[in-house]
A and B are shown apart, each in its own frame.
Chain A
Amino acid sequence: MRPLDPRLLRAAPAARRPVAALAVVGVLQGLATVATAFALAALVVAAVRGEPLREASLSLAALLALRAGLAWTAERTAARAGARVTAALRTALLRHWLTVPAERRPDPDRGGVLAAQGVAAVEPYAARFLPALVSAAVVPAAALVALLVVDPVSALVVVLTLPLLPAFAALIGMATRDDTARRWASLSALSGHFADVVRGLPTLVGYGRAERQAEVVGEVSRRHRTATMRTLRTAFMSSAALELLASISVAIVAVTVGLRLTHGTVDLGTGLLAILLAPEAYWPVRRVGAAFHDAADGAEAVADVLAAIDGDPAVADGAATGRSGVERSGAGRSGVDVRLEDVTYTYPGAASPVLAGLDLAAGPGLTVLTGPSGCGKTTVLELVAGLRTPDTGSVRAGRTHLVTQRPFLPAGTLREVLRLGSDADDPALWDALRAVGLDGFVAALPAALDTRVGDDGVGLSAGQRARVVLARAMLSDAPVLLLDEPTAHLDPAASALVHDVLARLAERRTVLVVTHRPELVARADRHLTLAARPVEALR
């Protein structure tokens, strides 16, 4: 893992400023820490010699107060950086996914987990690990430079012993690596067992297996304890060894200083400074090691997210990131032409194309598209909407609004649901509701447009849902409306109402509808049928 992946700052520019703030505060804290050692040494010397303490006291108090202020700023900055970096990364990821066609997104389960929990692991990384990293870089360097100026002999001792720490750590790591890797693998299986069976508890209870599992839970937990302790013993031993090494190094400095003091080759102030500065050269290294383990998840999440954004071949090639392959033209409310030429499309992972060499054209007015189940009608709509990119061929269409078979109806108020994809005002919303015959129903609701509907529009009947999404389509200013079986599950009365609305919409826009309803086909300006191969206009 790289401590700080520079791609993070490229992919999420909003993360630059908080990370820079962390660095600045970290450097100031490091310098203040070293300065405090000087003030403390001066105070001790003054106290020991019975000199007036006023000046030394004041400078120590001032420096500690400065550090107190910096500590305040550091905590605030770290918290803000954690929140900002996480938000910037998550926004960059989701913005990317909202820009690319379906083939370039992971499956919904993986995508959802990465965006929600995966990115969340970045917060401790940014809020805890990065500051520790900064102080590990700054404090030993500053302490060493100060030592070099004040007492070169002690500085030499530190320079000679300091590299022992990473070298020793690497040695321990090498000696235990295979063992540790093997143990971690079995450990993660053991530690995941409880979470796994608990999540499956309803299934186990359903099939009468839960009570027997209690014994397995106890047994696995005991094995987990034994295995974890074996691993931890090695980990604790190596960190104890490192701390011991650091302690001995500091003790060497202290003893050499003591001996030189007895010979009078160095004065008290210098000696005190040396023993106060020496530990600062060692401890941050150890601290960053502790934070490193906490941050490993975060660094991994950063890598995953960057892979999802940067690893996308189209982005890497420098190609347009938009939903490419589709020419967008025409705004406003007049209909425009939709044209597919020689389009072939294969679903990711599928062996053969669902559409091959398809030509299709639709102009302003109502066009219906029919065909046997599974022949690719929905795919045609998704290609026109730019949700998918054809393997070959070209798609030309204006901006589109696609009403899918499962239209998106999030939890929220009716107003929020209707305004998805447009910024219509209330009068426009009521106009649209009137057009779909829902104005009376909504007006009669106690909260009217502020009525909350649940996920998937629960609480509305199927016919009401269909009309709500139709009203939403009307509010969109896209010149091309695409609808996928809008009346498949509606009773005849509700269907007739929806068909009327579609016919009226087609007076001003290009409306392309996939349907099985003969009544709607009868009202169409154009009827296309999709067989396995090219489409012909029947009318």
Chain B
Amino acid sequence: MSIAPTAGTTDRTASPAVPEGRLAAARLRPTRATVLGGLLGGAATSAGIALTATSGWLVVRASERPVLLTLLAAIVAVRAFGMARPAFRYAERLVTHDAALADLAERRTAVWSALVPLTPARLGRRSRSEVLTGVVDDLTDVVEAEVRVTVPLVSSALAGLGATVLAAAFSPAVGAVVAGLLVAVAAGCALAWWFESRSRDELLAARADVARVSDLVARQAAELQAIGAEATALGWLDDAHDVLARAVRRQSLGRALVANLLLLATAAATVAAASLVDVAALGGPVAALLVLVPVAVGEALAPLTDTMRALARAQGSADRLAAVLGQEPAVTDPAGVDPTGVDRPGTAPSDTDSAEPVAVDRADVRLAAATASWTGERTDVGPLDLDLPVGTHLAVVGPNGSGKSTLLAVLARHLDVTGGAHRVDGADVRSLPLEEIRRLVAVVDDEPHVFASTLRENLRLARPAAADDDLRRALVLAGLGPWAAGLPDGLDTALGTGGRGLSGGERTRLGVARAVLSDRPVVLLDEPTAHLDHATAVSVTDDVLEALRERTVVLVGHRPEGLDRLDAVLDLGTADPVPTAKE
């Protein structure tokens, strides 16, 4: 798999998906193929019920010691139902899984296209990779619902209806009993769904908290030992586990209740069928068949409790997915500007019909009384004046909430200013295509992603045309020279999932190597050393500043390591040293 651009051209002019299209990928809707799968599943379930019923008929009829020939039809039927069940089940599984995978492929492309314009400003301010992992998991849940919800619901309804009709054909009274059983099962399902939905969010929050605490304790084991807080940490873990155990037990109440009700309803229906069946009129064999039907139906429909759990889960996933994908992009290309203009760097901008044909030659950045906001509701940074001629090394410090990340987002044009001006080489950026500014800026954040690919591909995404020598030079400048030299397969070494793991420091340096390789004149470093230990942080910062000596560097951090090596320090938090409430 290549993460570098594929050969051949792609349509860059495709307009961003409209909100309707974006939300379609998040919607729970059965496809025609899964309904067909449900019908096949219904045939399989019906065959199972019929197998039990005809076996009962066969045995009772045989006990009447008839001529063997009269049993042959029943013997054939028993065998046919016995073989039809696995055959239909096999067909059902093939059809539904293929349909779900086709739908998954389609939705993945749609979700990808919807996510691109939302990245990164609409993916949260921190832990974007968690938000994105959530999107992937939620999409899987939504698509899995077709197999786990649509199919069992359709097939249960079909089989239940079939059993009712069969029973009613012999005895309307027993038919009514079976219908009553179905109503009871349906009510039980509704109850199970209600319990599952009610406890879903609580359970998710409890699980997330257990994961957070255990991750924290595992990572901070040494620091906890240092201050003798081991018992306190295990206490946090116990508390989180207790909350989770309570949530799990509350959720299990629904399933327990339904499993209980289902068996009670089966008992009542069986006893009712036995007392209502008229042996004299129907004969022994048919009477046996009718008494066995409720048991067979009860057993066939028992898995519906799992279905309700899957449904509640998929609904939660669909809601979360819609909440992410339904957002408006934070920045868009200005109307009338040809976004393809950026693909021809160096050509005279007068070729295009853009409203304000300005070429950006020098990445001198200037903010004048600039303010910016993530949501539009409150001002997150500014008003701020900032002059960054090419080659400036600026540190930005300040407590959380003082606007450090917001400032970087503006400089990277992930956000546009809400007031004041943002000019690059004298031109107002809002009149320029997004890519015109973004191609000047490389961002290294605190969680650089390592793709499951070779080291070469992991670097080349920053500059596809780069030769191996360029890659090696970038690695050396980022302080990864000795590390790269020790790799078994050099640039062909597989990294990421399934490949070689990287330490936190190595990951940050890989991000820096990409920025170096990209040749972009402005490099923004967003707390690159936040997760590193002190010694590594100092050495990474030193190497980064050296590697980027001739470019503009804006380094954000609330750790003071190495900030004294920069030209200037902008403190956004001088006014307010008071601890802020945790967001």
Contacts and interface: CB of A to CB of B under 8 A. Distances in A.
Interface string B192-227: 000000000000000100111011111111111111
A53 B256 contact: no
Nearest to A94: B217
A407 interface: yes
11 contacts: A71-B256, A82-B248, A112-B215, A120-B210, A206-B438, A224-B105, A247-B82, A254-B78, A258-B58, A262-B68, A459-B580
Interface string A48-76: 11100100110011001101110111111
B259 A75 contact: yes
Q: Is the interface of A mostly helix, strand, loop or mixed?
A: helix
Interface in A176-197: 188-190, 192-197
Interface stretch (A158-166, A229-237, A502-510): A229-237
B40 interface: no
A204 B5 CA distance: 10
Given A229-B101, A452-B579, A47 B274 contact: yes
Contacts of B284: 48-49
Interface string A408-449: 101100100001111000000000000000000000010000
Nearest to A406: B534
Given A47-B287, A64-B263, A95-B234, A257 B581 contact: no
Contacts of B2: 216
Nearest to A123: B248
A392 interface: no
B129 interface: yes
Interface stretch (A134-142, A268-276, A359-367): A268-276
A442 to B, nearest CB: 9
Interface string A100-114: 001001011111111
A76 B249 contact: yes
Given A43-B270, A402-B227, A203 B448 contact: yes
Given A194-B108, A405-B534, A243 B85 contact: yes
A460 interface: yes
Interface string B446-461: 0011011000000001
A20 interface: no
Given A48-B287, A68-B264, A80-B249, 4 more contacts: A75-B255, A189-B452, A228-B97, A244-B83
A518 interface: no
A458 interface: yes
Interface residues of B, number: 156
A214 interface: yes
B63 A105 contact: no
A15 to B, nearest CB: 13
B135 interface: yes
Interface string A189-223: 11011111111111111111111111111101110
Contact of B60 (A48, A198, A212, A237): A48
A188 to B, nearest CB: 8
B115 A198 contact: yes
Contacts of B347: none
B56 interface: yes
A83 interface: yes
Given A268-B59, A275-B59, A68 B267 contact: yes
A201 B132 contact: yes
A56 B62 CA distance: 22
B264 A102 contact: no
Interface in A451-473: 451-454, 456, 458-462, 464, 472-473
Given A79-B249, A236-B94, A451-B579, A406 B223 contact: yes
A264 interface: yes
A44 B225 contact: no
Contacts of A259: 62, 68
A494 interface: no
Interface stretch (B18-26, B116-124, B157-165, B475-483): B116-124
Nearest to A444: B578
A218 B10 CA distance: 13
B364 interface: no
Contacts of B75: 255, 258
A110 to B, nearest CB: 8
Contacts of B85: 243, 247
A207 B97 CA distance: 36
A535 to B, nearest CB: 20
A462 B559 CA distance: 8
Contacts of B253: 76
B116 A211 contact: yes
A116 B222 contact: no
A533 interface: no
Contacts of A174: none
B222 A225 contact: no
B445 interface: yes
A212 B462 CA distance: 14
Contacts of A214: 10, 109, 112-113, 116
B234 A196 contact: no
A389 to B, nearest CB: 12
Interface string B1-40: 1111110001010100000000000000000000000000
B558 interface: yes
A99 B90 CA distance: 52
Given A208-B435, A267-B63, A385-B226, A44 B119 contact: no
A56 B87 CA distance: 36
B579 A255 contact: no
A170 interface: no
B89 A243 contact: yes
B59 A202 contact: no
B59 A261 contact: yes
Contacts of B83: 244, 247-248
B223 A408 contact: yes
A202 B445 CA distance: 9
B245 A83 contact: yes
A195 B267 contact: no
A118 to B, nearest CB: 10
A40 B295 contact: yes
A308 to B, nearest CB: 10
B259 to A, nearest CB: 4
Interface stretch (A2-10, A84-92, A331-339): A84-92
A411 B505 CA distance: 24
Nearest to B445: A202
B473 interface: no
A69 B101 contact: no
A188 B1 CA distance: 12
B351 interface: no
A16 to B, nearest CB: 16
Contact of B226 (A44, A49, A402, A453): A402
Contact of B288 (A48, A221, A403): A48
A251 interface: yes
B267 A64 contact: yes
Given A212-B10, A459-B399, A386 B225 contact: yes
Contact of A196 (B105, B274, B342, B452): B452
A433 B83 CA distance: 79
A499 interface: no
Contact of A228 (B101, B211, B462): B101
Nearest to B563: A489
Contacts of A119: 214
B222 A387 contact: yes
A94 B120 contact: no
Interface string A369-403: 00000100010001001110000000000010111
A420 B435 CA distance: 49
| Most interface-central of A46, A74, A262 (chain B CB within 10 A) | A262
Contacts of A487: none
Contact of A408 (B71, B229, B501): B229
A207 B82 CA distance: 59
B6 A212 contact: yes
B442 interface: yes
Contacts of A272: 56, 59-60, 288
A144 to B, nearest CB: 19
